[in-house]
């Protein structure tokens, strides 16, 4: 009986996002039709073929999808932790960036034994993220200054500080980047050196599980969730709000920072001058929101966003504007935002059922 | 920056004002929305949409004023979507705003391909005429006025108008009531939904105008990524200014001053890396916000959908 209930609730919480995704895809077909002046059925055929081949259909593209998924797992999770506490950490982007830079710098140091070096890079990146978000959390808790403003500011400070380090003291002569990190600082690419996918993927999945356990099986996680649901009730229940705000921001920043370190030691192998933001942190907001801040859900929404981002290349090769995939993402989010409609329909049906009895 | 024959301080002030205008428009837009109780993270997207359609309108009609009208209408239209989602569908306003930001970036670069057949940026279009020579002939402040554009005057006028609306008119009282305590407002016969729709759509119109001031002033073209976070800076300025029109104005001016200063400072030959000047405004904001302003108080019902007849 209990299992049946769980299955039913899982099914109903998956059903709505699935419908949203399908509807969003079909709305996007209209834009394909307009751009290519083709019929609806032709548009469906061309678009779905391009997206499928560009994301899951071929071995290369599937692996590249996974490469996209890695950073999104971390940034999505980082955003979700903040949202769960009732905070909006728009600064995941900056935390991710500063950790790329710090990770690259630690990774350049020669002469450290292999396994230790990778771990040092990951720790350094995590700490950079904790520091970046911790400042914001501390200011929010102690002075009450708005975390959205401060984390936007920290994004820009991360951007300029990173660029100073990358173009200044740690610049590789003649290039807009740092030197490559030492082989000892690289995460293992388990499908060989031809593919960029690496064990960062498993670190990401492990983090998902850890955060899930942390939130639902520990007192600390319970306290953070309580603060997120109702601050005043939580305080009345003896929960220290300030401590939890700082803790949640630090965890959020730490995950984002670990993501940045994984990105540099697994995927990019050096830090490049950042003309603007990387976008992974901002995409993480969407990933978290689509998953309704559920850690397990983030695996699926990161996979979806990763697949869509990757398939933009094959769309371009099929002469379809690659922006279609971002339109799909936006439309999916609009549907997710509008989930009240779904509740409203459910409520109507419930009321109808009562009347019929 | 063209500062030949201009005293450096005049050039600095003029470019501060020019750089501040898109921020001021967007921040005022944000104020309207948030004062009525609807969080608007989508300002970034509304600026982008406005910037694009301003150029498109001017491109189609060769009349930049029509371009500006295009910008205002397009900004209002996308804001209407946000309003519908947030007010009627009781959507999570953050999700809706984030969706609008993604949508705006995607749709503008899509339309760039479909309507202009170009990638990255549009062609240059008819600029907005500003009587530079006539302004320069005004005694004393002529040189300064000559460096400005129409948007600067419109933006500052709108700050005054917004302040007047909020604190001196019945409409402003209603907006604040709806944002602070919608149920009380509803009891007194104020249409909560109507006021919120008005404010959110107005916020999009203002942000659209801000977009026009970005694309249809100095550059006269739309480039992908030209908004680059100005919407978020505007949100920061609005909160930094403690949800007040003049507060937001000062905050926007601080950001713009620092932005303008870094261009000047590069010519001074001081031994700091350029990134240092770029980071200054953000560091200053954090220090001022945390050291002097402290806790900013948003409207009490900000971000909470209102349900009619709920207990």
Instruction: Tell me the per-residue pLDDT of B213-238, one tens digit each, with 9 for 90 and over.
Output: 999 887 788 988 888 889 988 998 99
Q: Report CA A210 to chain centroid distance, whole Å.
A: 16
Query: Encoding tokens for residue A305?
Result: 């966003």
Kindly list the distances between the CA atom of residue A196 and the CA atoms of A66, A185, B204, in Å, as whole numbers in the listed order.
Answer: 9, 15, 42
Whole-angstrom Cα distance, residue A187 to residue A179?
Answer: 17
| The pLDDT value given to residue A110 | 92
For chain B, the domains span 8-293
Q: Is A232 on the interface with B (CB under 8 A)?
A: no
Mutate to test the interface with A, among B23, B39, B83, B282 (most CBs of A within 10 A): B282
For residue B279, name the pLDDT band (cuts at 50, 70, 90). Answer: confident
Contact state of B110 with A286 under an 8 Å Cβ cutoff: no
Structure-derived torsion over alpha carbons of residues A257, A262, A263, A264, reported in degrees to the nearest 10: 100
Q: How close does chain A come to B305, measured CA to CA in Å? A: 11
Q: Which of A149, A164, A334 has its CB closest to that of B275?
A: A164
Contact state of B229 with A156 under an 8 Å Cβ cutoff: yes
Residues of chain A in contact with residue B98, where contact means CB-CB under 8 angstroms, are 285-286, 289, 333
Contact state of A149 with B90 under an 8 Å Cβ cutoff: no
Q: Is A213 on the interface with B (CB under 8 A)?
A: no
Mutate to test the interface with B, among A134, A145, A278 (most CBs of B within 10 A): A145
Please tell me which residue of chain B has the smallest CA distance to A158: B279
Separate counts of helices (H) and strands (E) for chain B = 13, 0
- The residue among B217, B169, B183, B194 whose CA lies nearest residue B65 is B217
Helical residues (DSSP H) of A37-91, grouped into ranges: 40-52, 59-84
Q: Which of A144, A156, A334 has its CB closest to that of B96?
A: A334
Percent of chain A with pLDDT over 70: 92
Contact state of B232 with A152 under an 8 Å Cβ cutoff: yes
3-state secondary structure of B126: coil
Radius of gyration of chain B (CA): 20
Mean pLDDT of B99-115: 90
| The pLDDT value given to residue A351 | 61
Q: Report CA B197 to chain centroid distance, whole Å.
A: 19
Q: Which of B90, B100, B240 has its CB closest to that of A340?
A: B90
Residues of chain A in contact with residue B106, where contact means CB-CB under 8 angstroms, are 323-324, 326-327, 329-330
Whole-angstrom Cα distance, residue A170 to residue A163?
Answer: 10
Contact state of B290 with A156 under an 8 Å Cβ cutoff: no
Residues of chain A with pLDDT under 70: 1-2, 5-6, 9-13, 340-344, 346-357
Is the predicted pLDDT of residue B160 greater than 80, yes or no? Answer: yes
Higher-scoring residue by pLDDT: A315, B46: B46
- The residue among A165, A163, A196 whose CA lies nearest residue A66 is A196
Fold of A59-319: ABC transporter involved in vitamin B12 uptake, BtuC (1.10.3470)
Whole-angstrom Cα distance, residue A339 to residue B95?
Answer: 11
Whole-angstrom Cα distance, residue B61 to residue B44?
Answer: 26
Contact state of A160 with B276 under an 8 Å Cβ cutoff: yes
Whole-angstrom Cα distance, residue B153 to residue B114?
Answer: 35
Mean pLDDT of B276-300: 81
| The pLDDT value given to residue B229 | 82
Kindly list the distances between the CA atom of residue A98 and the CA atoms of A170, A274, B298, in Å, as whole numbers in the listed order.
Answer: 14, 11, 30
Mutate to test the interface with A, among B40, B232, B281, B291 (most CBs of A within 10 A): B232
Residues of chain A in contact with residue B89, where contact means CB-CB under 8 angstroms, are 337-338, 340-341
Q: Which of A143, A156, A341 has its CB closest to that of B89?
A: A341
Contact state of A157 with B282 under an 8 Å Cβ cutoff: yes
For residue B44, name the pLDDT band (cuts at 50, 70, 90). Answer: very high
Q: How close does chain A come to B156, measured CA to CA in Å? A: 23
Kindly list the distances between the CA atom of residue B92 and the CA atoms of A227, B89, B96, in Å, as whole numbers in the listed order.
Answer: 19, 9, 6
Summarised one tens digit per residue, pLDDT across range B111-152 is: 998 888 888 888 888 777 787 777 777 877 777 887 888 999
- The residue among A248, A249, A242 whose CA lies nearest residue A143 is A242
Contact state of B98 with A321 under an 8 Å Cβ cutoff: no
Mean pLDDT of B89-115: 88
Is the predicted pLDDT of residue B7 greater than 60, yes or no? Answer: yes
| The pLDDT value given to residue B2 | 45
User: What is the interface size between A and B, counted as CB pairs within 8 Å?
Assistant: 137
Q: How close does chain A come to B229, measured CA to CA in Å? A: 9
Tell me how long chain A is: 357
Is the predicted pLDDT of residue B280 greater than 70, yes or no? Answer: yes
CB contact at 8 A, B55 and B122: yes
Query: Encoding tokens for residue A8?
Result: 């039913």
Residues of chain B in contact with residue A286, where contact means CB-CB under 8 angstroms, are 98-99, 102
| The pLDDT value given to residue B299 | 86
Contact state of B94 with A289 under an 8 Å Cβ cutoff: yes
For residue B177, name the pLDDT band (cuts at 50, 70, 90). Answer: very high
Percent of chain B with pLDDT over 70: 96
The torsion angles phi and psi of A235, rounded to 5 degrees, stand at -65, -40
Higher-scoring residue by pLDDT: B4, A58: A58
Kindly list the distances between the CA atom of residue A74 and the CA atoms of A7, A92, A98, B195, in Å, as whole numbers in the listed order.
Answer: 27, 10, 14, 40
Higher-scoring residue by pLDDT: A181, B273: A181
Structure-derived torsion over alpha carbons of residues A207, A213, A216, A220, reported in degrees to the nearest 10: -80
Kindly list the distances between the CA atom of residue B283 and the CA atoms of B274, B276, B278, B289, B299, in Å, as whole numbers in the listed order.
Answer: 15, 10, 10, 10, 26
Fold of B8-293: ABC transporter involved in vitamin B12 uptake, BtuC (1.10.3470)
Residues of chain A in contact with residue B105, where contact means CB-CB under 8 angstroms, are 326
| The pLDDT value given to residue A166 | 93
3-state secondary structure of A171: strand
Contact state of B286 with A154 under an 8 Å Cβ cutoff: yes
Q: How close does chain A come to B189, measured CA to CA in Å? A: 26
Provide the phi-psi class of B37: left if phi over 0, else alpha when psi is between -120 and 50, else beta: left
| The pLDDT value given to residue A357 | 41
Is the predicted pLDDT of residue B265 greater than 80, yes or no? Answer: no
Handedness of CA A119, A268, A82, A66 (dihedral sign): negative
Q: Which helix (H) or strand (E) holds A296?
A: helix A295-317
Q: What ipTM does the predicted assembly reach? A: 0.83
Kindly list the distances between the CA atom of residue B304 and the CA atoms of A274, B87, B240, in Å, as whole numbers in the listed order.
Answer: 37, 9, 21
Q: Is A273 on the interface with B (CB under 8 A)?
A: no
Whole-angstrom Cα distance, residue A224 to residue B199?
Answer: 34
Q: Which residues contact A208 (CB under 8 A, 6 or more apart)?
A: A73, A77, A295, A296, A298, A299
Give me the residues paired with residue A272 across strands.
Answer: A177
Q: Which helix (H) or strand (E) holds B209?
A: helix B192-215
Residue whose token pair is 């220290």 = A240
Residue whose token pair is 């071929």 = A58
Mutate to test the interface with B, among A338, A340, A342, A345 (most CBs of B within 10 A): A338
Strand ranges in B43-162 using DSSP code E only, listed in sequence order: none
For chain A, the domains span 59-319
Mutate to test the interface with B, among A75, A76, A149 (most CBs of B within 10 A): A149
Q: How close does chain B come to A56, measured CA to CA in Å? A: 23
If one counts every other C-beta atom within 10 angstroms of the C-beta of residue A218, the result is 11
């Amino acid at each position: 009986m209990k299992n049946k209930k769980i299955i039913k609730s899982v099914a109903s919480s998956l059903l709505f996002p699935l419908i949203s995704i399908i509807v969003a895809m079909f709305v996007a077909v209209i834009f394909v039709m307009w751009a290519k002046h083709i019929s609806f059925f032709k548009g469906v055929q061309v678009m779905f073929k391009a997206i499928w081949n560009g994301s899951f259909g071929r071995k290369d593209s599937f692996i590249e999808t996974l490469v996209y998924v890695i950073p999104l797992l971390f940034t999505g999770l980082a955003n979700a932790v903040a949202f769960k506490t009732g905070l909006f950490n728009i600064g995941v982007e900056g935390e991710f960036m500063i950790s790329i830079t710090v990770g690259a710098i630690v990774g350049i140091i020669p002469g450290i034994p292999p396994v230790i070096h990778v771990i040092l890079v990951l720790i350094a990146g995590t700490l950079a993220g904790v520091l970046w978000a911790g400042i914001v959390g501390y200011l929010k808790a102690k002075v009450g200054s708005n975390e959205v403003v401060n984390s936007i500011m920290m994004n820009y400070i991360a951007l300029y500080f990173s660029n100073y380090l990358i173009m200044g003291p740690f610049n590789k002569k003649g290039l807009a980047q740092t030197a490559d990190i030492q082989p000892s600082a690289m995460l293992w690419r388990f499908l060989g050196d031809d593919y960029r996918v690496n064990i960062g993927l498993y670190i990401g999945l492990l983090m998902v599980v850890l955060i899930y356990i942390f939130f639902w099986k520990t007192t600390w996680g319970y306290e953070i969730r309580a603060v997120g649901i109702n601050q005043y009730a939580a305080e009345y229940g003896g929960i220290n709000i300030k401590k939890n705000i700082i803790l949640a921001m630090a965890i959020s920043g730490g995950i984002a920072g670990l993501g940045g370190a994984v990105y540099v030691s697994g995927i990019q192998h050096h830090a490049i001058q950042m003309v603007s933001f990387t976008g992974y942190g901002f995409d993480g907001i969407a990933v978290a929101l689509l998953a309704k801040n559920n850690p397990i859900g983030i695996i699926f929404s990161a996979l979806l966003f990763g697949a869509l981002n990757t398939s933009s290349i094959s769309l371009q090769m099929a002469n379809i504007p690659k922006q279609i995939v971002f339109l799909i993402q936006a439309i999916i989010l609009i549907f997710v935002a509008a989930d009240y409609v779904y509740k409203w329909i459910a409520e109507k049906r419930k009321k109808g059922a009562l009347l019929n009895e | 920056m063209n500062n030949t024959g201009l005293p450096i301080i005049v050039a600095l002030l003029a470019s501060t004002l020019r750089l501040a205008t898109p921020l001021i428009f967007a921040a005022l837009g944000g104020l309207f929305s948030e004062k009525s109780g609807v969080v608007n993270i989508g300002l970034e997207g509304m600026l982008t949409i406005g910037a694009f359609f301003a150029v498109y309108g001017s491109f189609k009609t060769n009349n930049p004023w029509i371009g500006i009208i295009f910008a205002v209408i397009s900004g209002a239209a996308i804001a209407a979507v946000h309003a519908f989602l947030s007010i009627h569908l009781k959507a999570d306003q953050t999700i809706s705003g984030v969706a609008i930001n993604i949508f705006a970036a995607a749709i503008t670069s899509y339309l760039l391909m479909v309507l202009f057949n170009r990638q990255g940026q549009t062609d240059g279009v008819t600029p907005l005429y500003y009587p530079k020579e006539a302004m320069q002939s005004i005694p004393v402040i002529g040189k300064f006025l000559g460096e400005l554009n129409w948007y600067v005057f419109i933006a500052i006028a709108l700050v005054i108008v917004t302040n007047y609306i909020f604190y001196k008119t019945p409409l402003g009282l209603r907006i604040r009531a709806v944002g602070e305590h919608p149920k009380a407002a509803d009891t007194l016969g104020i249409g909560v939904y109507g006021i919120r729709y008005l404010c959110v759509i107005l916020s999009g119109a203002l942000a659209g105008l801000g977009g026009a001031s970005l694309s249809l002033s100095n550059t006269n073209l739309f480039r992908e990524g030209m908004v680059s976070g100005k919407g978020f800076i505007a949100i920061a300025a609005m909160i930094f200014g403690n949800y007040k029109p003049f507060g937001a104005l000062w905050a926007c001016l601080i950001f713009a001053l620092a932005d303008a200063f870094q261009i000047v400072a590069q010519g001074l030959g001081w031994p700091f890396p350029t990134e240092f000047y770029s980071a200054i405004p953000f560091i200053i904001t954090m220090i001022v916000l945390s050291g002097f302003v402290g806790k900013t108080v948003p409207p009490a019902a900000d971000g909470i959908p209102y349900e009619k007849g709920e207990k």
